Copies of this chain bind each other. A is one copy, B any other.
Amino acid sequence: MTAETEAPCGQHRRGSRSVEGHDVPSAEHARIRLAQCSPLHVRESCLAGGLSQQDLEALDRLTFSRRRAHLGEPLYEAGQAFGQLYAVGSGTFKSCVTLADGRQQVTGFHLPGELLGLDGVGTGTYASGAIALEDSEVCVIPYANLRDASSAGAEVQGAIARLMSREIVRAHSLMLMLGSMNAEERLAAFLLSFSSRMKARGFSPTEFHLRMSREEIGSFLGMKLETVSRTFSSLVQKRLLDVNKRHVRIVDLQQLQSALAR
């Protein structure tokens, strides 16, 4: 239906092995608590950063459902009424903002344990959309529950504030990257960030599979897909990486880090 453009934020059409018939992804809302929702990831990564055991237990009590999103499906879309936050349980998401004239940009990639939807709190409307980059699962956290002063509300409010603040810091450092780095530095920064996030989740920090296309990486890094591809090739030539399509192996992590300091 939607007139598909050449944008990096579109939904995928080729549904992979998605079973189809799932046009409305808001289907099942099983009552499953955060603690059962891939607890290891959620607790030991971004979400847990700075949260006390008490915070986590409070959060657990406020989480009431989970939801699945297949590859290419939106979890929510920009402009939609804000109602809940989502904690990635498994899989990967990208979030995208759109300019008035249609230009779009990927503002982030989200791994298990990270929180989505915080940009909706301010206005009551999601400012960005989130789309699954593979078949994924999230925990749904109704925001109204957080506002209830009841049930350790204050603790959780503080935790949410910390998470938001970190998102601000992250966005600012991305601004720095977009404003002052060349193509090679941007890609190196992206890969190193990805590497440390994989490591934090118990995966290999030097070998991983990217779930996003060259175009999506380019959109995130503020460069064209051809430049992304060329820069990958350049880093391979310099013996810092092995790359085969979306499979990446970091050969020389030391040098990749020093590629940032130019």
Tell me which residues across on chain B come within 8 A of A107, comparing CB atoms.
Answer: 172, 175-176
A17 at interface by CB-CB < 8 Å: no
Cβ A172 vs Cβ B97 within 8 A: yes
A174 to B173, CA, bound (A): 12
A10 at interface by CB-CB < 8 Å: no
The verdict on A105 contacting B175 (CB below 8 Å), with A157-B154, A222-B180 known, is yes
Count identical subunits in the complex.
Answer: 2
A50 at interface by CB-CB < 8 Å: yes
Cβ B147 vs Cβ A158 within 8 A: yes
* Nearest-Cβ distance from residue A141 to partner chain B, whole angstroms: 14
One digit per residue, 1 when the CB lies within 8 angstroms of any chain B CB and 0 when it does not, for chain A 242-262 equals: 000000000000000000111
A226 at interface by CB-CB < 8 Å: no
* Nearest-Cβ distance from residue A76 to partner chain B, whole angstroms: 14
A171 at interface by CB-CB < 8 Å: yes
* Nearest-Cβ distance from residue A259 to partner chain B, whole angstroms: 11
Cβ B118 vs Cβ A168 within 8 A: yes
Cβ A168 vs Cβ B100 within 8 A: no
A113 at interface by CB-CB < 8 Å: no
Cβ B101 vs Cβ A172 within 8 A: no
Stretch at the interface among A35-43, A121-129, A207-215, A229-237: A121-129
Stretch at the interface among A26-34, A56-64, A131-139, A159-167: A159-167
* CB-nearest residue of chain B to A174: B175
Tell me which residues across on chain B come within 8 A of A260, comparing CB atoms.
Answer: 100-101
Closest 3 CB pairs of A and B: A179-B222, A122-B165, A171-B171
A-to-B contact residues, CB < 8 Å: 50, 97, 99-101, 103-105, 107, 118-123, 127-128, 147, 149, 153-154, 157-158, 160-169, 171-176, 178-180, 219-222, 260-262
Known pairs A119-B172, A147-B158, A175-B175 / 6 extra A-B pairs, C-beta < 8 Å:
A118-B165, A119-B168, A121-B161, A123-B165, A164-B164, A180-B222
